[in-house]
Chains A and B, each alone.
Chain A
Amino acid sequence: MRISNDDVLALELPYRERLRLMRTVFEGGSGPTVAVVAGVHGDEIEGLYVCHRLAAWLERLAREQPQALRGRVELYPALNPLGLDTLQRAVPVYEIDLNRNFPGHPDGLLVQRIADAVMRSLAGAALVVDIHASNVFLREIPQVRIAAEFADGLMPLGRGMNVDVIWIHGALTVLEATIAHSLNSRGVPCLVVEMGVGMRVTPALAEQTIAGILGVWRDLGVLDSSVTLPTRTRTPLLADDSNVYYLNAGTSGLFVPAIEHWTTVAKGQLLGAIVSPHRGEVLSEVRAPAGGVLFTLREYPLVYEGSLMARLVATEPP
């Protein structure tokens, strides 16, 4: 096994500094190539830690069982390096969302050049896993999100990912300028994983996700079947527009949850309250609209009217 680092893109910044978009490549046999991309948004850190843990696992494999890597693994922990280094979700200077600018353009702006370079680099991969960490407002249980138009090809891969939820978006749900849509449109299978929360690392969720990624790599023949892997323990709930409920704030204020994330709740159960910072009163109670499991829970307490507080996948009829 050969381990190397290279730049997918390098650009001179206006004064002294150079922007490098780096990847780590683990080359084994002639088997399939797979990739993990993360850090598309500069405020989402969970995927960086997943890349670190995967790198550590592969480095140990290189020492102990180098022949077991039958294919090739590419890790891209930071597609938006400047945003990560400056704690900005979007690509700095232009404040443009990288994940709304795929497939990009080789002669365009920084954001378009990153997108273009990444698309070229990932061409031909057997699977790309795009790891997101929600945003600073919401915490997500590990889940795979799949656009319905690509569901036939992606569902078998998604089921192997050891996530708690697979969420299939309807036809209107496609974000056409995302990396996932652009890759899937070009025949490169790409799974979007959402896990954790912005600006944080959640090791337990990372280990769960890693077990899934390694398992799918073995399923694809990237890893030899003789390799010992962490056990995949999850059977995902299937979510779609018919069984996902959104809990939006009825009033502005301070949202204080009364339950834990990834909790099974009964219809009508108290989930939390919106309270006034000025007075002792409870402004609004938040109750479950159906029986099910909370797979999204608000982490950032301030809410405006309409702010999303939680999402629930129903497990029983309303």
Chain B
Amino acid sequence: MSVGNLLHMTAPLRDAFDIPFHAIGAASEPLRLALVGGLHGNELNGIFVLGRLADFLAEVAAGARLPLRLHGRVVIIPAVNVLGVNTGSRVWPFDGTDINRMFPGYDVGETTQRIAHAVLQATRPSYFRIDVHSSNPEFEEVPQVRLYDPTHAERETARHFRPPAIVEAPTSGGAPAAWRASVSGPATRARPSPSTASDFSPRWWASSRAPASSPAARSPMRTTRRTISAHGRRSRWSRRRRASS
């Protein structure tokens, strides 16, 4: 396993900063899986899980977990919003922008545009792409996979998570939409945060919530969000080039 840096930037006053990621598996292998966490700096579950997963997969890759073997290559970005993690902030603390609203990003633009661009570049070539979120402080989410306009292959892939619930919604912003717009391959959002207003609606929460007694591992509850309103979609132009309201 090697630790790389997604991008390196100077800051006005504190130290320069970067976004570390784990690259696991031989460089000659195809990139099979990309995992992204901490697009929101106050969603700590994904950061914890992805850090542990990186350690585990590194052991697998090193042959320390036989008979498990790693086929293909894995990229793990445990925390994208590094400064947000350090300051307890969902958004990028300097300007309040939500990194998950900055995709596809812009490589010479504002900081969060650059971050989004770097995340997309690092994860776009992967066949499987998973964006791990937590809820906000008000809600605890049962583990769930959210799919946006899923293909048959994505539905099948989601079942491998064996979550209590699989939730389908017609549209999405953020990383899943950016992945969707690039190349084929399942784009999945595991245990997402309420990234949009409608994600918070009680009906959405209730409909996607598995009963406490459900045999979660065997029969994921599949629901479809119906009360969706226009949200989340925003123009490439606005994110690339526009800094004002």
CA distance A252 to B17 in the complex (A): 12
- Contact call A308/B229, Cβ cutoff below 8 A: no
- Contact call A173/B237, Cβ cutoff below 8 A: yes
- Contact call A304/B9, Cβ cutoff below 8 A: yes
Q: How far is the CB of B108 from chain A (nearest CB, A)?
A: 6
Q: Assuming A94-B197, A305-B9, is B229 touching A112 (CB within 8 A)?
A: yes
Q: Is A172 an interface residue (CB 8 A)?
A: yes
CA distance A305 to B236 in the complex (A): 20
- Contact call B233/A306, Cβ cutoff below 8 A: no
CB neighbours (8 Å) of B194 from chain A are 94
- Contact call A95/B90, Cβ cutoff below 8 A: yes
Which partner residue on chain A sits nearest B107 by CB separation? Answer: A306
- Contact call A135/B244, Cβ cutoff below 8 A: yes
- Contact call A304/B245, Cβ cutoff below 8 A: no
- Contact call B230/A182, Cβ cutoff below 8 A: yes
Q: How far is the CB of B116 from chain A (nearest CB, A)?
A: 12
CB neighbours (8 Å) of A135 from chain B are 95, 243-245
Q: Is B238 an interface residue (CB 8 A)?
A: yes
CA distance A105 to B199 in the complex (A): 12
CB neighbours (8 Å) of A44 from chain B are 245
CA distance A63 to B113 in the complex (A): 52
Tally chain B residues at the interface, Cβ within 8 Å.
41
Q: Could you give, for residues 249-291 of chain A, a 1 whenever the CB lies within 8 Å of some chain B CB and a 0 otherwise? A: 0011110000000000000000000000100000000000000
- Select which of A101, A132, A134, A241 is within 8 A of B197 by beta carbon: A101
CB neighbours (8 Å) of B65 from chain A are none
Which size class do A's interface residues fall under? 35 or more
- Contact call A176/B198, Cβ cutoff below 8 A: no
Q: Which of A44, A194, A248, A303 has the most CB of B within 10 A?
A: A248
Which partner residue on chain B sits nearest A253 by CB separation? Answer: B12
Q: Is A11 an interface residue (CB 8 A)?
A: no
CA distance A86 to B172 in the complex (A): 30
Q: Could you give, for residues 74-92 of chain B, a 1 whenever the CB lies within 8 Å of some chain A CB and a 0 otherwise? A: 0000000000000000110
Q: Is A203 an interface residue (CB 8 A)?
A: no
- Contact call B234/A134, Cβ cutoff below 8 A: no
Residues of chain A from 24 to 51 with CB closer than 8 A to chain B in the complex: 40-41, 44
- Contact call B111/A95, Cβ cutoff below 8 A: no
Q: Is A188 an interface residue (CB 8 A)?
A: no
- Contact call B243/A137, Cβ cutoff below 8 A: yes
Q: Could you give, for residues 204-245 of chain B, a 1 whenever the CB lies within 8 Å of some chain A CB and a 0 otherwise? A: 000000000000000000000001011111111110011111
Q: Could you give, for residues 3-21 of chain B, a 1 whenever the CB lies within 8 Å of some chain A CB and a 0 otherwise? A: 0000001111100000000
- Select which of A112, A140, A248, A252 is within 8 A of B109 by beta carbon: A248
Q: Is A17 an interface residue (CB 8 A)?
A: no
- Contact call A108/B229, Cβ cutoff below 8 A: yes
- Contact call A112/B91, Cβ cutoff below 8 A: no
- Contact call A107/B10, Cβ cutoff below 8 A: no
Q: How far is the CB of B117 from chain A (nearest CB, A)?
A: 10
- Contact call A172/B12, Cβ cutoff below 8 A: no
Q: How far is the CB of B135 from chain A (nearest CB, A)?
A: 12
CB neighbours (8 Å) of A252 from chain B are 9-12
- Contact call B201/A306, Cβ cutoff below 8 A: no
- Select which of A108, A111, A140, A174 is within 8 A of B235 by beta carbon: A174
- Contact call A94/B95, Cβ cutoff below 8 A: no
Which partner residue on chain B sits nearest A40 by CB separation? Answer: B245
Apart from A94-B197, A277-B12, what 10 extra A-B contacts exist at CB < 8 Å?
A100-B101, A100-B232, A101-B229, A108-B227, A140-B244, A176-B233, A302-B12, A303-B12, A305-B10, A306-B109
Task: Please name 24 pairs of A and B residues whose Cβ atoms are closer than 8 Å in the assembled complex, sorted by A.
Answer: A40-B245, A89-B96, A95-B91, A100-B232, A101-B197, A101-B231, A108-B201, A109-B200, A112-B201, A132-B244, A134-B245, A135-B95, A137-B243, A137-B244, A140-B244, A169-B237, A173-B235, A173-B238, A175-B234, A176-B230, A177-B234, A194-B245, A252-B10, A277-B12
> Which 3 pairs, one residue from A and one from B, show the smallest C-beta to C-beta distance?
A173-B237, A308-B243, A252-B10
